[in-house]
Amino acid sequence: MDGINLEEKRYLWLNFSEQTGQHLYCYLDREGNKIYGNIVTNTDTESPYSNVSIHKGAECKGEAVHFVSSHKHESLKQ
């Protein structure tokens, strides 16, 4: 299989914590749909957060194929 580079699949997860102060990433999935989340991992079945994490849950939003953008959620308070 010389000359063939297989990409490892990556998955985007969105945690259930308050989003203020967190980074939010936007990726395109295989169908070209935008998906949003906080962390990219190599599994779509095992949560990226441990039992002792400040984030108490997360949902896999899909396969992260192409990076689009990122920004940090800031508080709306002035």
In a structure prediction context, what are the per-residue pLDDT tens digits for the chain, which is 78 residues long?
A: 454 444 789 999 999 998 888 999 999 999 999 999 999 999 999 999 998 999 989 999 999 999 999 988 775 443
Encode 53-68: b = buried (16+ Cβ within 10 Å), e = exposed. Answer: eebeebebbbbbbeee
Question: Residue 1's pLDDT is what?
Answer: 43
The model's pTM: 0.82
Beta-ladder partners of 35:
27
DSSP conformation class of 64: -
Beta-ladder partners of 12:
40, 62
Q: What is the C-alpha to C-alpha distance for residues 10 and 5, in angstroms, rounded to an integer?
A: 15
